[in-house]
């Protein structure tokens, strides 16, 4: 049978969208458009530009396996370098030429076995396959704090950094002490007149040196074989780390706890401050913080740790429950993201008029985080319940794409007009996932963005090796294939 021509829409030009465009082109599937609401590629690395932004996955692992980068300047890359890396890769593979920027897809409807897309500007497209590469942590969570609107200084979310806000010699408040808040505090505390860190829950911190690479190291990175070997060695290491988070009772998990505890004991000298910074839950229950200088920053004379609950915001500062008004010029909300929104608010209508909002009325559900019953030929990268430990989402997306390519191959070969996972299989997979999640560190008694409304972590709860095995080839019995 002649090969079937397929048209694709890739939604999102972040890491996973760039990957999809490159991989489709390499397979000779060149009839596609990349839709991007922003003005450039880069996704999360375009949207986040706060001071201190860097990645907590090692640089040599946080890049495409097929595009190693000899130019990383640090073991953990600064955000701007990562953004520039993605721009460079996208440019060299011609991805930007295939993208429609500044126009958001607002609707995707399955009609007559094809997806009908409409953008914000009214542009329409009809495609056989949608690849949703819309990212995970990209809907900023604006906290529900009384009086926020009345603040007369500058107030903004960390993912919408206001570069006109003056930090030098200013009184700055930072709400939140997750990965983002910690990076900002470590980066700006010396520049400001006073920094108030509003901490609701302390975090465990893993110390990791991030000294810039020296010339000999940079020279060694020119050898691409060396870089590839480093990529795979780091992959193995992170695979082991994944085992630590999926088994809260494992020796690896215990070892991480000990490293964090000794970091706290050794590096915070004032016993009272140390206790206020000490979490009462197991290390890595919340996403582990990687920082070599957070504790030093918290002991700097410019910095004040505020642990009294925020009562409200007033025109000139934040008032805490003890009645104290913390006067501020700038208020940064490092308060995280709506991790369960994914491609919403895009309206997605599947077979028989079922909408994504109906399908996900309780919570996001997907088969292997990539496909959805009732939404045929709709493939997600880094979809619901996708993160594998603290593994690089790039490695996860590459493996997912290789799996999705096998689904696409059936469409391309004309074996099927439509592919969607079987509902019972999807529900069975979810039940097994929830059962396995009970042993993970994320369920040992803390709150975090990993947890869904039931308190179940929205992650892959099995070892990395199992992820590799499952991604190797689809189990075709899990899918309904509608013939041409």
The contact set with ligand NAP (CB under 6 A) reads 54-56, 137, 143, 145, 175-181, 183, 198, 200-201, 287, 310, 334-336, 447, 449
CB of 22 to ligand NAP, least distance (A): 23
CB of 62 to ligand NAP, least distance (A): 8
Select 237 or 409, whichever has its Cβ closest to ligand NAP. 237
Select 310 or 343, whichever has its Cβ closest to ligand NAP. 310
CB of 183 to ligand NAP, least distance (A): 6
Own/partner pairs for 247-254, CB < 8 Å, 24+ apart? 247/439, 247/440, 247/441, 248/282, 248/439, 248/440, 248/441, 248/443, 248/444, 249/439, 253/282, 253/283, 253/284, 253/441
Select 203 or 371, whichever has its Cβ closest to ligand NAP. 203
CB of 95 to ligand NAP, least distance (A): 23
CB of 328 to ligand NAP, least distance (A): 15
Select 289 or 420, whichever has its Cβ closest to ligand NAP. 289
Select 171 or 287, whichever has its Cβ closest to ligand NAP. 287
CB of 308 to ligand NAP, least distance (A): 11
The runs of H, that is alpha helices, within 299-386 are 356-359
Query: What is the SS3 assignment for 71?
Result: coil
CB of 208 to ligand NAP, least distance (A): 11
Select 200 or 410, whichever has its Cβ closest to ligand NAP. 200
304 alpha-carbon distance from chain centroid = 29
Select 139 or 221, whichever has its Cβ closest to ligand NAP. 139
Identify whether 345 is preceded by a cis peptide bond (ω within 30 of 0). Answer: yes
CA 419/CA 128 separation, integer angstroms: 11
Select 181 or 376, whichever has its Cβ closest to ligand NAP. 181
Task: Indicate the helix (H) or strand (E) that contains 254.
Answer: helix 251-267
CA 260/CA 7 separation, integer angstroms: 50
CB of 179 to ligand NAP, least distance (A): 4
How are strands ordered across the β-sheet holding 310-314?
A: 310-314, 317-320, 325-327
CA 132/CA 311 separation, integer angstroms: 40
421 alpha-carbon distance from chain centroid = 25
Nearest Cα to Cα of residue 283 among 441, 439, 176:
441
CA 181/CA 336 separation, integer angstroms: 9
């Amino acid at each position: 049978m002649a090969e079937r021509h397929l048209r694709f829409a890739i939604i999102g030009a972040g890491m996973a969208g760039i990957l999809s465009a490159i991989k489709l082109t390499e397979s000779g599937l060149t009839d596609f458009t990349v839709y991007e609401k922003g003005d450039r590629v880069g996704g999360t690395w375009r949207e986040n530009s706060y001071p201190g932004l860097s990645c907590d996955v090692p640089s040599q692992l946080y890049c495409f396996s097929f595009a190693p980068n000899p130019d990383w300047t640090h073991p953990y890359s600064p955000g701007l370098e990562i953004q520039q890396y993605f721009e460079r890769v996208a440019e060299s593979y011609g991805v930007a030429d295939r993208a429609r920027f500044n126009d958001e897809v607002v609707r995707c409807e399955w009609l007559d076995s094809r997806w009908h897309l409409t953008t914000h500007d009214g542009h329409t497209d009809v495609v056989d396959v949608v690849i949703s590469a819309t990212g995970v942590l990209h809907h900023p969570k604006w906290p529900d704090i009384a009086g926020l609107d009345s603040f007369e200084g500058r107030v903004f979310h960390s993912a919408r950094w206001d570069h006109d806000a003056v930090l030098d010699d200013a009184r700055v408040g930072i709400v939140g002490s997750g990965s983002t808040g910690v990076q900002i505090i470590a980066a700006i505390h010396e520049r400001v007149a006073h920094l108030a860190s509003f901490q609701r829950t302390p975090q465990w911190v893993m110390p990791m040196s991030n000294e810039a690479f020296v010339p000999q190291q940079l020279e060694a990175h020119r050898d691409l074989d060396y870089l590839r070997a480093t990529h795979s060695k780091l992959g193995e290491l992170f695979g082991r780390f994944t085992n630590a988070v999926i088994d809260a009772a494992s020796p690896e998990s215990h070892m991480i706890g000990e490293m964090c505890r000794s970091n706290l004991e050794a590096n915070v000298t004032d016993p009272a401050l140390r206790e206020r910074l000490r979490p009462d839950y197991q290390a890595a229950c919340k996403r582990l913080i990687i920082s070599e200088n957070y504790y030093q920053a918290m002991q700097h004379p410019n910095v004040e740790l505020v642990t009294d609950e925020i009562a409200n915001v007033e025109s000139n500062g934040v008032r805490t429950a003890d009645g104290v008004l913390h006067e501020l010029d700038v208020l940064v909300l490092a308060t995280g993201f709506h991790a369960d929104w994914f491609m919403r608010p895009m309206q997605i209508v599947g077979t028989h008029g079922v909408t994504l909002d109906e399908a996900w009325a309780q919570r996001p559900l997907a088969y292997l985080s990539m496909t959805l019953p009732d939404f045929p030929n709709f493939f997600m990268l880094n979809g619901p319940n996708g993160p594998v430990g603290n593994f690089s989402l790039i490695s996860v997306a590459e493996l997912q794409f290789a799996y999705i390519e096998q689904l696409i191959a059936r469409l391309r070969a004309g074996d099927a007009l439509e592919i969607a996972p079987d509902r019972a299989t999807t529900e069975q997979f979810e039940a097994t996932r929830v059962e396995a999640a009970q042993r993970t560190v994320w369920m040992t008694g803390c709150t975090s963005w990993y947890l869904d409304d039931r308190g179940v972590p929205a992650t892959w709860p099995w070892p990395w090796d199992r992820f590799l095995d499952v991604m190797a080839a689809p189990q075709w019995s899990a899918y309904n294939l509608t013939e041409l």
